[in-house]
Amino acid sequence: MAALARANQQELEQLVYPTGFYRNKAANIKKLAEILCRKHNGKIPPDFETLIGLPGIGRKTANVIMNQAFGQAPGIVVDTHVLRLSERLGYTNGRNAVRTEKELMKIFPADTWRDFSLYLIFHGRKYCTARRPNCTECFLKQLCPSAAGAT
């Protein structure tokens, strides 16, 4: 973490260039590392509210960190796949990630939150893609309002 905090901004930009928005991401990584070194002994804090207050970390990233690093699920990870599938399956209107997360949290029990988004992400990558959903091979087609009439 200390090495990231001391890193040259331009070198960080080169490292994250392929991900897009590289200047902003590099700046956030550097600021994040500086704060973690100064306030958290170089460690990632295991607290959701603290995480979302750090540079470059929103609800999605904080939920991923809590899930993967600490085995906790304070919420549901909502990425583009979860957003799309939640709308297609009729759970939400799918237009806002934060609202979708809160709506899904009301529908599904907390002990399923950790795996729920992973299931939707993998399903969205394999079957329910953005441009060409494969409804004919989808095992959820009986439950999915969007699959009605699809061949």
3-class SS string, the chain = CHHHHHCCHHHHHHHHHHHCCHHHHHHHHHHHHHHHHHHHCCCCCCCHHHHHCCCCCCHHHHHHHHHHHHCCCCCCCCCHHHHHHHHHCCCCCCCCHHHHHHHHHHHCCHHHHHHHHHHHHHHHHHCCCCCCCCHHHCCCCCCCHHHCCCC
Domain count, the chain: 2
| 89 occurs within a structural domain | yes
Same domain, 85 and 30: no
| Same structural domain, 84 and 133 | yes
Mean residue pLDDT across the chain: 94
Examine residue 6 and state whether it is found in any structural domain, yes or no. Answer: yes
Percent of the chain with pLDDT over 70: 98
Domain assignment present for 55:
no
Does 90 lie in the same domain as 143?
yes
Tell me if 50 is assigned to some domain.
Answer: no
Residue 58 lies in a domain: no
The domain that holds 86 is classified in CATH as 1.10.1670.10
Query: Residues 135, 88: one domain?
Result: yes
Give residue 95's pLDDT.
Answer: 86
Confidence of residue 25 (pLDDT cuts 50, 70, 90): very high
pLDDT in tens, 75-124: 999 999 999 999 999 999 878 999 999 999 999 999 999 999 999 999 99
Q: What is the pLDDT of residue 148?
A: 78
Residue 96 belongs to some domain of the structure: yes
Is 27 in the same domain as 85?
A: no
Do 141 and 87 fall within a single domain?
yes
Output the pTM of the full model: 0.87
Q: Which residues are catalytic?
A: 60, 79
49 occurs within a structural domain: no
pLDDT band of 6, cuts 50, 70, 90: very high
Q: Are 94 and 86 in contact (CB under 8 A)?
A: yes
Residue 37 belongs to some domain of the structure: yes
Range of the domain at 115: 80-147
pLDDT range class, residue 149, cuts 50, 70, 90: low
